[in-house]
Structure 1
Amino acid sequence: MTHALPGYLCPEDGTRADVRTAPWCCPVCAGPWDLDFTPDPASALEPSAGPNSLWRYAAALPLPGAFSVSLAEGNTPMVPLAERVHAKLDYLMPTLSFKDRGAVMLAEVARRLAPRRVVADSSGNAGAAVAAYCARAGLSCEVFVPEGTSERKTGRIRAHGAAVRVVPGGREAAAEAARAAADGAGVFYASHVFNPYFLHGTKTYVYEIWEAMSGRLPEALVVPVGNGTLLLGAALAVEELGRRGVRAPALIAVQAEAVAPLASAFAAGAQDAEPVAQLPTLAEGIAIPAPPRARQILAAVRASGGTFLTVPDDRLREAQADLARRGLSVEPTAAACWAAVGPLSPTDPLQGRTAVLPLCGAGPK
């Protein structure tokens, strides 16, 4: 039986498109797509009866029918960090980062569309995740990376059978090369920024918290933000669970002090973010100078009653070391939230609220 895939919807101008024939971005404004999909709040959501993966939330996911792509991703544990703060260990995913949540969705969509090849752009975790799930799905995959990307990272991508295309220039140059390739016939662009199916994968992070907390959510969700894929997924889940009567938490977004266009825009009361310089920071994973979904991220944080926090590199380094002393080995970006709200913070941004933060990427791999 063939099941139709929910179509794309542009959040800026309302343009709609069929997933099977749509370009990778809105043809009117060139912005990222949203998905024309809302789960039925009356449908039964019984994750304990589902598989030991994020597919246990099938009733809330936009992929009808049977799925076949999985590496038993999701269902990651939560551990206490402080009296009212828990960490969710998303670095225990199959490819060692939360990006698996979105990558498995993109691979399943691509499997159903049967393209000649899948292309992606990444300098790290997203590339490894897309390569792994394409391998699982039997799809040909190419990942475009900026020059200077370490052999450690490209080696992880190649190990899954994906081709690595090194592009002269920085991260944006690699993205432009991937998008040029995506315009070709028979190509699926597995973009963790522009493709909304990725966001519907990351929203399972919050569904798992809801399940672990017996049908509740904490008073705050603290999330690292660069392109905002985890935060926007969290916002989707909060909205969907709200229709089921679950009280919504505040979204607290964390950026690196060196590259913080969203935090600056939030503080200025702006609806969109101006691009900033690409300065060096330990938190490479969230150092995004011009996030394509800036307007959506800012709106989601404001609507939740949340805020933005920034952390300098010295506190990031200290937080990473503090987590390691607690038995949790994570990459610097994954320490950003603990640096922002943990004991190293000069203030108490949580103000006694219960909170969950993600440790979203493993340390030395």
Structure 2
Amino acid sequence: MTPLPDRYCPTDGVRVPGDSLAWRCPSCHGPLDLDFTPIPAPLKSLAGRVNSLWRYAETLPLTGPTVSLGEGRTPLVPLTDEVSVKLDFLMPTLSFKDRGAVLLAEVALRSGPRRVIADSSGNAGTAIAAYCARARLPCTVYVPLGTSAKKLEQIEAHGARVEVVDGGREAAARAAQRAADEPDTFYASHVYNPYFLHGTKTYVHELWEDLGGRLPEVLVLPVGNGTLLLGAALAVAELYGAGLLDRRPALWAVQAAAVAPLARAWEQGAEEPADLISVGPTRAEGIAIPRPPRARQILRAVRESGGTFLTVTEDQIRHAQLDLASRGFYVESTSAVCWAAVREGALGGRSAVVPLCGAGLKSGLARP
């Protein structure tokens, strides 16, 4: 197999060998990026390739996948004259997290650890559990108290061990990280591990292909830890750098008003968010992240794209979820935040794509 590329810290430049199980920068303890420069293939060369995200092989840091479940190539469907929706809830585990989880499982399989550890509010844990099952890797997923029972059932069905942590999303992450520091353990973190971002970027490569070599004027993206937005930024940079795009879309980041550290930092012109004094409850549990480890990168990506941050209230989320259901799309609350942000004319006539990231069966309809 081709050796795994090195990782490096975007803050201080410290490098970590590709075959190391280290999951963060040994100096500043921040997330790592991947030392990998892809060259996307021209549109015409994609015809006849495998009908999954692996058709974009030139952009992926791994070759010859062994754990694929056929993920990717989800439909793009018009919703209004301005907005189309991409149905990423039609992935094998019913969420977009499969895009990154397949790469994490592939790296773990090649690393040969004794066990795989993950933390999640539900969807990422489900995806990692499924792909570890495919790879025959033992997996433990740490989840916060209050995680949807349907998501817990799905994780356990894939054979993963569930550890429920008495606390919120950050408490679950801390528990997983303590376990990840034990010897011979692979931390399949969808936040710290850069392979996950190189999986989520295929969302934009698919849009580019489906739209005939172009992208909409605006990409509206939900942001908690920012893995979909950062993957989108990677893909846009790759396509534009290769001369396959004539303009870059603006990235519009959406947060729930109850937990919006990045939106507040954006309003203040800060490079990173300050600690939130209080965090309110939100139906959008998948993006309820008070302190995103990649906050600086997310803010920079939105700024460089000419984009912005938007926040939505709980009532807006609920009404958007019901509205999508009335149009035939039954998605979970977190998946409704982007439509909540733009459904009342915020786009001003610009074309946009909104991701529908997770199926409604995972958590049900939001109730008043």
TM-score by length of 1: 0.95
Residues 45 and 60, structure 1, Cα contact 8 Å, conserved in 2: no
Does structure 1 retain, via aligned residues, the 8 Å contact 2:76–2:86? yes
Equivalenced residue count is 359
Is contact 1:86–1:357 with CA below 8 Å preserved after alignment?
yes
Matched, 1:341 2:303: no
Identical columns (%): 65
Any stretches of 5+ residues in structure 2 without a counterpart? 363-368
Q: Corresponding residue for 1:309? A: 310
User: Does the Cα contact within 8 Å between 2:41 and 2:58 map onto a contact in 1?
Assistant: no
Residues 43, 213 of structure 2: 8 Å contact kept: no
Displacement of 1:52: 1.5
Aligned to 1:93: 91
Tell me the residue number matched to 1:73.
71
In the alignment, which residue of structure 2 is the partner of 1:162? 160
Partner amino acid, structure 2, of 1:295: R
User: Are residues 44 and 18 of structure 1, via their aligned partners in 2, closer, same or farther at CA, if it must alter by over 3 Å?
Assistant: farther
Shifted more, 27-36 versus 144-153: the winner is 144-153
The one-letter amino acid paired with 2:191 is V
Q: In 2, Cα distance between the equivalents of 1:146 and 1:129?
A: 16
Q: Partner of 1:248 in structure 2?
A: 248
Equivalent residue number for residue 220 of structure 2: 222
Q: Give the superposition deviation at 1:177.
A: 1.2
Q: Which residue number corresponds to residue 264 of structure 1?
A: 264
Matched residue, 1:27: 26
The 1:44–1:36 alpha-carbon spacing in structure 2 relative to 1, beyond 3 Å, is farther
Distance 2:43 2:19 in 1: 29
Q: What is the match of residue 352 of structure 1?
A: 349
Query: Is this contact kept in 2: 1:84–1:355, CA < 8 A?
Result: yes
Q: 1:226, 1:288 within 8 Å by CA — same for their partners in 2?
A: yes
Cα distance, 1:203 vs structure 2: 0.1
Q: Displacement of 1:94 after TM fit? A: 0.6
Once the two structures are superposed, what CA deviation does each residue of 1:253-311 show, in whole Å capped at 9, x if it has no partner? 10101111101111111111112233101111111111110000000000000000100
Could you say which residue in structure 2 is the equivalent of 1:55?
A: 54
Please say if residues 49 and 56 of structure 1, whose CA atoms lie closer than 8 Å, have aligned partners that are also in contact: no
Once the two structures are superposed, what CA deviation does each residue of 1:215-238 show, in whole Å capped at 9, x if it has no partner?
Answer: 111111000100000000000000
1:199-210 map, 5 Å = 199-210=197-208
Partner of 2:291: 290
Letter matched to residue 304 of structure 1: S
Secondary structure of 1:50's partner?
A: coil
Cα distance in 2 for partners of 1:99, 1:22 equals 22
CA RMSD of aligned residues (A): 1.4
Distance 2:21 2:118 in 1: 17
| Residue 326 in structure 1 maps to residue 327 in structure 2 | yes
User: 2:219, 2:352 within 8 Å by CA — same for their partners in 1?
Assistant: yes
Q: Deviations over 1:152-189 (max 9, x none)?
A: 22111110011111222222121111111111111100
Query: Does residue 298 of structure 2 align to residue 300 of structure 1?
Result: no
Matches within 5 A, 1:232-247: 232-245=230-243, 246=245, 247=247
Distance 1:43 1:181, change over 3 A: farther
2:2 partner amino acid = H
Amino acid at match of 2:259: V
Q: Deviations over 1:304-354 (max 9, x none)?
A: 0000010001011111111001000000110101110113xxxx3322111
* Separation in structure 1 between the aligned mates of residue 357 and residue 146 of structure 2, nearest angstrom: 23
Residues 180-195 of structure 1 mapped to structure 2, 5 A cutoff = 180-195=178-193
Matched, 1:364 2:361: yes
Question: Quick one: which amino acid aligns to residue 91 of structure 1?
Answer: F
- The whole-number CA distance in structure 2 between the counterparts of 1:71 and 1:41 is 23
User: Aligned partners of 1:262 and 1:77: how far apart in 2?
Assistant: 30
Give ranges in structure 1 of 5+ residues lacking alignment: none
Q: Which moved more, 1:238-247 or 1:188-197?
A: 238-247
Residue 123 of structure 1 deviates from its aligned partner by 2.1
1:114 maps to a residue whose letter is G
* Alpha-carbon separation, structure 1, partners of 2:42 and 2:219: 25
Return closer, same or farther for 1:41/1:315 CA change in 2, 3 Å cut-off.
closer
Q: Determine helix, strand or coil for the equivalent of 1:263.
A: helix
Once residues 356 and 327 of structure 1 are traced to their aligned partners in structure 2, the CA distance between those partners, rounded to angstroms, is: 17
What is the CA–CA distance in structure 2 between the aligned matches of 1:218 and 1:44, rounded to whole Å? Answer: 17
